[in-house]
Amino acid sequence: MERIQHEHIRMMVSEKAPRLDKYLAGKFPGLSRSQLQKLIREGLVLVNGERVMASRRLEPGDEVCIHLRPATESVLIPEQIPIPVLYEDRDLIVVDKPAGLVVHPSPGHAAHTLVNAILARCPDIKSFGDNMRPGIVHRLDRDTSGVMVIAKNPRAHQLLTEQFKARTVLKIYLVLVKGKLTPPQGVIEAPLGRDPANRKRMAVVNSGRSASTVYKVKEYLNGYSLLEVTPHTGRTHQIRVHLAAIGYPVVGDSVYGVKAHLVSRQFVHAHRLGFRLPSTGEYREFVSELSPDLKLAVEALKSSHCRN
C-alpha cells in the first residue's frame, strides 16, 4: 500500500476477517492498532458505507474505505484549566465537567480540552492508553455538563472500562424537554445509527444498534418536563435522539431538539455516576448538582408557572 499517494483507499475483502482493526493492521503495518482504532472511532473507516466498530467482523465482498490524513505530530500540552474535582484517589479522579469543554482533542479541537486540564494535575496519565485520550473511559458531549471519571493508571483504566462495557455503571442525567411527557415514566427502545440523510447526525434506523433509555419525570414545569434519564446503552447522542423520536425534544438542543430562550445550550446534565472503585471494589456514587445556567432555567419556569 502506498499511503503517501492516497487520501481515500477502498479495499474489497476477499476472505473472512475476525475484526476490522486486525484486518487493517495487516494492510497498514506502519500504523499502530491504537491509531487504527482511533481512525475507526472518528468515522474515518467505513464498511459498505457505514460507520462501524473496531470489532466488526468482515465477510468476503465487504468494501472497506479508509481515509488517511496527512501525518502530523500531535502533542498533548498540560493546561491550567480550572475543573471542579468531586473525588480523587491514587487510581482515578472524578470531576464536574463544565458545559462547553470538549473531553479530548479531536479535529477542530486540538487543545483546551478536559484532557489538557487533567494532564496539568495528573501528568502520569500520559504514559498509558490512547495518546490523545489518556485516562478517558467515557465521554460527555461538549455542551453536556456534569460528573465524569478519569483513570490515573492502566489497571484503573482497565477495571473502569470493563464496568462500562458490562453496563454496571449507574448513569443518571437531568434533562429538560418540551411538552408534558406522559406516561411519567417509561423505557424508550429504538435502534440508533447514522442518519442516512445527514451522516453528521444520529437517528432511529432499523439497521442501527440496539439502544435503551429509561426516563422518569421529576417535575412538570409549565409546558416542560424535567426528567431523570438513565441510558442503559451508550450510543452516540442517545438521550437526545431517543427523546426527540418520541416527540419530546431536549430544550436548547440545536441539532435534535428545540431552541429556547431559557438556555443557550442543550439542557442535559450528568447528575449521578456510580461504579466500583478499582482500589477497593467498594461501590460509590458521585453527584453533580445542576449548573447555574440550568438551575436558572428551572427557576424561571417555576416562577412563570406561579404567575399563570
107 and 200 share one domain: no
Q: Are residues 153 and 123 in the same domain?
A: yes
* Residue 38 reports pLDDT greater than 50: yes
List, in order, residues 6 or more apart from 192 with CB less than 8 Å away.
202, 203, 204, 205, 208, 209, 211, 235, 236, 237, 238, 241, 242
| 56 plus 141 within the same structural domain | no
pLDDT at 11: 85
- Annotated catalytic residues are 141
Indicate whether 135 and 193 sit together in one domain: no
pLDDT, tens only, 208-249: 999 999 999 999 999 999 999 999 998 999 999 999 999 999
Peptide bond into 107 cis (omega under 30): no
pLDDT tens for each residue of 158-197: 999 999 999 999 999 999 999 999 999 999 999 999 888 8
Q: Do residue 204 and residue 302 come from a single domain? A: yes
Q: Looking at the predicted structure, is the pLDDT value of residue 100 above 50?
A: yes
What total number of domains does the chain contain? 3
Residue with cell 418536563: 225
Cα separation, 178 vs 221, in Å, equals 10
* The predicted structure's pLDDT at residue 33: 74
Q: What is the rounded CA–CA span in Å between residue 293 and residue 69?
A: 39
Residue 162 in domain: yes
Q: Does residue 302 share a domain with residue 189?
A: yes
E-strand ranges in the chain read 8-12, 45-47, 50-51, 63-67, 85-88, 92-97, 145-151, 170-178, 185-189, 192-195, 198-204, 212-221, 224-231, 268-276, 283-287
3-state secondary structure 25-74: HHHCCCCCHHHHHHHHHCCCEEECCEECCCCCCECCCCEEEEECCCCCCC
State the CATH number of the domain containing residue 143. 3.30.2350.10
Answer yes or no: are the C-beta atoms of 259 and 143 closer than 8 Å: no
- Residue 288 in any domain: the answer is no
- Final residue belonging to a domain, choices 40, 67, 94: 67
Which residue range is the domain that position 109 belongs to?
85-166
The owner of cell 475483502 is 13
Do the domain assignments include residue 192?
yes
Q: Are residues 299 and 198 in the same domain?
A: yes
